[in-house]
Structure 1
Amino acid sequence: MIQKDLVFLRSFLENIKEQRYQNGKLQAFWSHVMEAAYKAELLIDLALVGDKCEDSLDAVSRDINLLKIGAPEIHNGQTQRVNKTSLHIPSQLAAAMHDEDLVGLDDEVETITHRLTRGSKQLNVVPIVGMSGLGKTTLANKVYTAPSVRSHFHVRGWCRVSQTYSIRSMLVELLCSSSSESSNGYLKMDENDLVMKLRQVLLRSRYLLVLDDLWDVEAWNLLEKSLPNDANGSRILFTSRYQDLSLHFEPNSEPHHLRHLTDEESWKLLQRKLFGTEDCPATLSEVGSQIAKLCQGLPLAVVLVAGILATTAQDSWEEVAKSLSSIVLEDEYCKKTLELSYSHLPNYLKSCLLYFAAFQEDEVINVQRLLWLWIAERFVQQAGGKSLEEAAYDYLMALINRSLVMVIRQTIVGGAKACLLHDLVYEFCVEKAKEESFLYVIHNWKAPLSLTGPSNPYRVCVPNTRESKIWELMLIFPNLRSLILFGEDDFKHEEEDLGILLPKLLRVLDFGNSDFRYSFPREVVLLVHLRYLALTGITYIPSAIANLSRLETLIVEDANFDIELPSTIWNIKTLSHLRALTYPGVAPDGFTFPVGSLEVSPNLDHLDTLDLAIDPSPQILQKIPRKLPSIRRLKCRQSYGSREATRNCNEILEFDGLSQLESLHLFGFRGCGFKFPLNLKKLALSYNGQPWSEISTIGKLPNLEVLKLLDRCFVGEEWVMKEGEFPKLRVLKLSRLKFRN
């Protein structure tokens, strides 16, 4: 009965979604329905784990039924369903992914370039200032990558500063962007070593450093001691929304005030975002030009409005123009435009957008991890025969197409690999998430913990510091569904037996960079509704992990060893992703499966993604893949404890039985041969030491699109290609292979 009534109410909410922000009665009704739905979900989940609650399902059912009965009266002729058909714009995706060109600002690029490459030999500062949304970062990046700038400076580095900066993170980011060395070494250095290392990289070099989104001079004062001045024309370029910041720099430098776009440039940018190289339809030209003019010369406003228009029927563009006209004289124009963009989103995308508030400002977010979080939160619905992950990716692309999310890194075949929010969009998400009681961000721990947000939030994001007591936080919020930590620190382990006091409804638990020092936190296994768990620094998983019978994603970062799984792992039938993450350039970690009773253990039928460490002996390697019939992505390396670790395995490792496998990375199986499944699309090989004659096996794979041959995966000086090999190959990457000159 509850389900039936909520299905009706969901349809009703869909009808009023565009009017509720302008109507207090509708907004209140919306909140009541959401509260009742959460309460019903809470009671059902409690019943599933055998806990009792003061409220009953009967009482909640009556409340929901009353809301259903009252819905027509609430409607009361105030609202009318708006049927819209989307305007199909084929070039929209390409524009969102790849169009970083400035419109009409070539003169600005030239001016900044001249200031960087000419003038005094002393270390000078060049500030770019202007309000949010003007394109300061885009201009700085255009200059940074200009051929004349690249050739003029020996070393270039870039870091994002933002409001919540640390000198350590700034140093690491500058070193990673200015040096070819692996980032792993920098991440493990202390601050003094980082200062010395940066000075060493920059010494006697003409360098350009970009400090993006600088908020105060203190960040510069902390960094300045690391920078040599060899009187060779080195430069500091910074962007800021504060015009007088440059007055605090020595030597003082005249700020470059980034101008607004003209009406004509705004219209040109709007057309480019919507139609690419195609012409705007004549029927839309007049209203489109009017809309561009209403964007007040702010590039961010233009691209946000383009995101709205791209999903709006042609005959409704006038409505968008009227909405923009009503806010044109108000303050914080971009935020008002963001509110308009948000109100035009379908409801399923609103949750996905607000979830970005769980991350830190200017955090580069791994797309795959984000999609798994969305899935664990149940934001994603399957449609059209697609998997949940494919549907989640479509959701992300919809936000990218609306210019609400930016793609920072792409996969080797052009998909989104990492993403980022503009700081104004991020601020909007944090405020809106708090306003709608969607997610609460605790910025500082105080004793006792004081809250200015909802009294019992469902989702909390909190900094991990030595003052934080995570289990205490869970006790404060018994209805907590998601807890995400950010920041780096060793985990402060509590010795109390918390027992049933923990919020058993917790579904998402991400400890960020909290280092557990190899010890699995025993309290976690009490959280029986967990779907997503991310930990750092542990090397074993206890047998009690089987209590988490709904776990879908388990991520372990920076273990530096094999991660031992217990025999009870086979009982978690919902497992979809087992990832062991390391820093770039470091040998991969992996999970080791128990092999004692494989014959009688159930299969992990839903496991899709696995980082595996394994003894390459055939009796083990051939048994484990049979237990994983749905595996699509597999990273596999020889386990550290394997008896084969010090010599060649001289075996044929058979992966051809994995009928669903699409992506495979093999690391460290020196001397082994391989059999691959015919459906394989992506293959990476590292440190396998095969002769080049063996590559003909790979060349025969009919569906292979991406091939990465890395780090002495083949030995010998010559690779002889044969006619007809690699029929579908799109990408070939070669690294550290010793060919004959």
Structure 2
Amino acid sequence: MVEVWVRQIRDLAYDAEDVIDAFILHVEQQHNKNIIFKIIGCWSQLEDRRRIGKWIEQINRRTKDISACRSKYKLDVSESRQDSGHFTEDLARKRRSILTVEELDIMRFQKEATEVANRLIKENETQRQVICIIGTGGMGKSTLTRMIYNRADIKNHFEVHAWINVSQEYQVKDLLLSALHQVSWRNDESHSELTIEYLEGELQKHLQDKRYLVVIDDVWKTEAWDQIGASFPQNQKGSRIMLTTRNKDVASHASPSTNHHELQYLEESDSWELFCKKVFPSGTCPDELVDVAHEVVRKCNGLPLAIVVIGGLLIGKERTRDAWSKVLANVNLQDSNPCREILALSYTDLPYYLKSCFLYLGLFPEDFQIKANRLIRLWVAEGFVLARGEEKMEDVAEDYLEELIQRSMIQVLKRKYQGGPVGTCRVHDFWRDLAISEAKNDRFLDIHGKKYYSTSGMTRSRRLAIHSINTNQNVHHFNHKFRSLLIFYEDFEISKWRLEFEESTKMLRVLELEGVDLWGKNLPKEIGKLILLHYLGLRNTDLQRLPTSIGKLMKLQTLDIRGTRVGSVPKAIWKMQQLRHLFLITSGLMEFQKVHVSREDLPRDLLTLHLPSFIWMDMGEGLANYFVEFDCLRSLRLYEKLALGNDSLKSCLPSSLTELNLKLCQLEHDPSAVLGSLPKLRELRLGASSYVGREMVFSAKGFAQLRFLQLSYLENFEEWRVEDGAMPNLKHLLIRHCGVLKMLPNEIQKVRSLQNIELFGMSKALVKNVKENEDWNKSVIFFDD
């Protein structure tokens, strides 16, 4: 009965959302009309308002009926809501005090990772070998493999590295293309005309004379190995392929059993140790909880994923026998799939504000590498993120992401730097299947693809993801009430799909078209009718022009045209008051634009701005006074010449910046004194021709908050001096192709926080100096000569 009641509430909420959106749409459309059309449309307005009024009356009646039903049948959901519906500072402190998921992985796999790594780098075995990591789902195959892949000794031993995710649904061409991009740094403008035979030949050519390491992750069938494996040459250079699979037949087909490493279910003592380290900061279970905790662990049957998931759930519970016994009672030991039972329990336990965020993950394709910033922007655009005092929505969303990670519902693939924000993440197959199942029951989403295609989208689903199109599937008839459309199918030609902006998409809040074939290289002018749109993703499309009507999207928060061929942008963009993230760096032939903007028109909440060289902002006082107007700005990327001295540079950079990326700026004076004084700067990237001088001096106490530093393609950069006390919190240093840099400053060795140093394309003299200097900690340095 409770399920029926909840479904009625959900349908009522959807209908209420429709009424509110219809009213907002009506008001905005009237606001945009000129006076003549407003007069002519008076009668129509009255009819629209009467219709909306009737809808509201119907919703009020249904609300009373649903409330009466709850009273009649004495339905009580207050306990579960109270238990899971709050985010407290106490819970946040608890999660911060325990080991992170990554730290747990290191402790658990350290011995195995060293064993497999030693097998990979055996110098006396020059023949290419395939090492197979075998284990059932949830054992940690990919986690162990990624730990090995990212080790300094592995990075330094192999000249070339590539990681390919296969999974159940794959396209051979896409896999080969991914590998080629990683080993050759090439990025073909058009992929459609490339054949599998061509890609195989290119891989052979680029790898033939190199010692390479390739990971082929999550292989389900022997056919997949046969289709991919032959592309990697037997070159007698000591090359290795690591293959992960759940299927022993696949492993036996790919390599002899002597090269197999099979992950085992955990023994009782190891299960207990993993559980305690996950749940308790001290790693020790309190005496009063030992018996019930042992019973919880026993129900996990030695499966690591189940242990860390239920541990993540218990962290948020009171440390009492009663609270833990309630969790234990909900785990059915007799269930044919106890892991799924535990995962479902963990989902049920989620606070309400996290459930939508979790279900949203089901929209992404299997094993998809999700950029964390993209996910956060989507969550904010969808309205999932609750206001929390004066904090930015993106900061709250980042906390949501970290909480799902600590609950082991999301896997971190890469952080921007050790201990820093998430860079990319993914969802385990088990969790993704659960998200899709729950989301479809709630009419939360629908997926158009080979595996998950259904017709529920024709009725009430709010979100649609297109992964592929089969000839017998017709996408023209999907309902007009969906709020989000995300397309992950690069061969999808949207011009062949009759997307009617006036009806089928008028309620859209999110339109994500990254990588798809657009309408004859341009967006139709009708895009301006999507006045409720919050998010427009056009990255890496073949787009050449933005229509001026885009200026009507006054609720837009994110506009992303990176990697397109757009040569100019409508000036009306700068008057979109709700813009928070604006990505304008494209690969098109740029038309120079001088944009006159008044201070009053600027989007005051702008957090991210990526600005190309063809746009020059003029507010009457020049560039130096432009960026400081964005007093919330955190991420700034400039690809343009800045004819500024240090005084002017200092005055044009807001103190709120946490991330700065400069390229082609041609700064003639050492900018490090100015940049080092930015109080919140955590990430700094100085790219090609950003600085054209010979010397940089990082002064003491400079860059106090810097965590990540990248210096790339600085052709004249010969000497780098770092004073004691500079960059005290630096964790990751990356230097690429600064060919005339003579040596690394010895003072960098004194930065205790430094975890990684990566050197690519540096002079032989510098590399030799570092390798021969005993004072350098070689375990943190990656070389690529």
* TM-score of Structure 1 vs Structure 2, range by shorter chain: 0.7 to 0.9
Find the counterpart in structure 2 of residue 391 from structure 1: 396
Tell me if structure 2 keeps the 8 A contact 1:608–1:633.
Answer: yes
Match of 1:99 among 104, 108, 124: 104
TM-score by length of 1: 0.82
**After superposition, what is the alpha-carbon deviation per residue over 1:256-279, rounded to whole angstroms, capped at 9, x for unaligned?**
553211111111111122235543
Deviations 1:632-689 (A, max 9, x none): 22111218xxxx9xxx777965452535333322211214556667445143322123
Could you tell me which of 557, 568, 573 is aligned with 2:572? 568
State the match for 1:708 in structure 2.
Answer: 709
Inter-CA distance 613–441: structure 2 relative to 1 (3 Å threshold): same
Q: Which moved more, 1:488-497 or 1:45-54?
A: 488-497
Equivalent residue for 1:417? 423
Corresponding residue of 1:28: 4
Displacement, 1:541?
2.4
Q: Which residue of 2 aligns with 1:41?
A: 17
Q: For residues 721 and 112 of structure 1, what CA distance do their matches in structure 2 show? A: 35
Local SS of the residue matching 1:340: helix
1:428 counterpart residue number: 434
Question: Contact 2:371/2:425 (CA < 8 Å) preserved in 1?
Answer: yes
1:474–1:480: 8 Å Cα contact kept in structure 2? no
Letter aligned with residue 69 of structure 2: G
Which residue of the partner structure matches residue 367 of structure 1? 372
Is 1:258 matched up with 2:263? yes
Matched, 1:689 2:691: yes
- Once residues 350 and 186 of structure 1 are traced to their aligned partners in structure 2, the CA distance between those partners, rounded to angstroms, is 39
- CA distance in 2: counterparts of 1:396 and 1:359, whole angstroms: 16
What CA distance in whole angstroms lies between the structure 2 residues aligned with 1:36 and 1:420?
33
Which of 327, 342, 362 does residue 320 from structure 1 map onto?
327
State the alpha-carbon separation in 2 of the partners of residues 685 and 152 from structure 1: 28
Letter in 1 for 2:324: W
Aligned partner of 2:768 in structure 1 is none
For residues 118 and 531 of structure 1, what CA distance do their matches in structure 2 show?
A: 55
Aligned 8 A contact 2:596 2:617 in 1: no
Task: Report the alpha carbon displacement of residue 349 of structure 1 after superposing the two structures with TM.
Answer: 0.6
Q: Which residue of 2 aligns with 1:310?
A: 315
Q: How big is the shift at 1:580? A: 4.0
Q: 2:187 aligns with which of 184, 188, 194?
A: 184
- The whole-number CA distance in structure 1 between the counterparts of 2:612 and 2:126 is 54
Check 1:139–1:576 CA distance in 2 against 1; reply closer, same or farther (3 A cut): closer
State the distance in 2 between where 1:124 and 1:454 align.
Answer: 50
| Matching residue within 226, 242, 256 for 2:247 | 242
Q: CA deviation at 1:567?
A: 2.3
How is 1:641-656 mapped onto 2 (pairs within 5 angstroms)?
653-654=648-649, 656=651
Task: Classify the secondary structure of the residue corresponding to 1:514.
Answer: coil
Tell me how far 1:333 sits from its aligned partner.
Answer: 2.2
CA deviation after TM superposition for structure 1 residue 330, in Å:
1.6
Contact 1:590 1:613 in 2 (8 A): no
1:533 aligns with 2:528: no
Aligned partner of residue 557 in structure 1, secondary structure: coil
Shift of 1:335: 1.3
84-93 or 258-267, which moves further after superposition? 84-93
**Contact kept in structure 2, 1:518 and 1:559, CA below 8 Å:** no
CA contact (8 A) 1:465 1:489 kept: no
Q: Could you tell me how far apart the structure 1 residues matched to 2:472 and 2:590 are? A: 30
Shift of 1:26: 1.0
**3-state SS, counterpart of residue 638 of structure 2:** strand
Q: Within 5 Å, which residues of 2 pair with 1:318-717? A: 318-324=325-331, 327-412=332-417, 414-444=420-450, 451=455, 455-463=459-467, 473=475, 476-489=478-491, 491-493=493-495, 498=500, 500-516=502-518, 518-535=521-538, 536-560=541-565, 562=567, 564-580=568-584, 595-599=594-598, 602-614=601-613, 620-622=622-624, 624-625=626-627, 628-638=630-640, 653-654=648-649, 656-657=651-652, 658-672=654-668, 678-682=678-682, 683-686=684-687, 687-691=689-693, 704-706=705-707, 708=709, 710-713=711-714, 715-717=716-718
Q: Decide whether aligned partners of structure 1 residues 252 and 638 sit closer, same or farther in structure 2, where only a CA change above 3 A counts.
A: same
Measured in 1, the distance between the counterparts of 2:247 and 2:718 equals 58
Q: Tell me the CA shift for residue 367 of structure 1.
A: 0.6
Describe the superposition over 1:333-376 as per-residue Cα deviations: whole angstroms up to 9, x where unpaired: 22111101101111111110110011111111111110110011
SS class of match (1:27): helix
Distance 1:209 1:661, change over 3 A: closer
The superposition leaves residues 61-104 of structure 1 with CA deviations (integer Å, 9 ceiling, x where unpaired) of 22113323433334356975686597764565642243323648
Q: Which moved more, 1:254-263 or 1:149-158?
A: 149-158
What's 1:213 paired with? Answer: 218
Given that 1:566 and 1:594 are in contact with CA atoms closer than 8 Å, whether structure 2 keeps it comes out as: no
Shift of 1:116: 9.1
Aligned to 2:42: none
User: CA RMSD for the aligned pairs?
Assistant: 4.0
Given that 2:366 and 2:429 are in contact with CA atoms closer than 8 Å, whether structure 1 keeps it comes out as yes
By how many angstroms is 1:175 displaced? 4.2
**1:2-17 correspondence runs (5 A):** none
In the TM superposition, residue 576 of structure 1 has moved relative to its aligned partner by 1.0
Does the alignment pair 1:75 with 2:74? yes
Aligned length: 695
Distance 1:196 1:717 in 2: 39
* Closer, same or farther: CA 283–576 of 1 in aligned 2, 3 Å: same
Contact 2:266–2:304 at 8 Å: present in 1 too? yes
Normalised by the size of structure 2, how large is the TM-score? 0.78
Q: CA deviation at 1:528?
A: 1.4
Once the two structures are TM-superposed, the CA of residue 731 in structure 1 deviates from its matched residue by 5.5
Counterpart AA for 1:49: L
Inter-CA distance 515–314: structure 2 relative to 1 (3 Å threshold): same
One-letter code aligned to 2:382: E
Q: Whole-Å Cα distance in 2 between the matches of residues 715 and 104 of structure 1?
A: 44
Amino acid aligned to 2:575: N
Report if the CA contact (8 A) 1:509-1:532 is conserved.
yes
TM-superposition CA deviations, 1:495-514 (whole Å, max 9, x none):
97946323311111101211
Q: Shift in Å at residue 420 of structure 1? A: 0.9
Change (3 A) 1:467 1:572: farther
Deviations 1:142-182 (A, max 9, x none): 555678877876655432210111222322443455x3x43
Cα distance 1:383–1:278, how it changes in 2: closer, same or farther (>3 A)?
same
Structure 1 unmatched runs, 5+: 1-24, 583-587
Is 2:585–2:612's contact at 8 Å kept on the other side of the alignment?
Answer: no
Match of 2:749 in 1: none
Answer with 378-387 or 181-190: which moved more: 181-190
Query: Measured at CA, do residues 80 and 139 of structure 1 come closer, stay the same or move farther in structure 2, by a change above 3 Å?
Result: closer
Distance 2:402 2:189 in 1: 33
Give the equivalent residue in structure 1 for 2:40: none
SS of residue matched to 2:291: helix
Residue 63 of structure 2: aligned partner: 64
1:396-419 deviation line (CA, Å, top 9, x unaligned): 111011011111111136221111
Q: Distance in 2 between matches of 1:241 and 1:248?
A: 13
Q: Is the 8 A contact 1:308 1:402 kept in 2?
A: yes
Distance 1:704 1:105 in 2: 31
Measure the CA separation in 1 of the matches of 2:592 and 2:577: 15
CA distance in 2 between partners of 1:270 and 1:590 (Å): 57
Q: Rate the CA distance shift 1:509–1:289 in 2: closer, same or farther, 3 A.
A: same
- For 1:572 and 1:290, locate their aligned partners in 2 and report how far apart those are by CA, in whole Å: 57
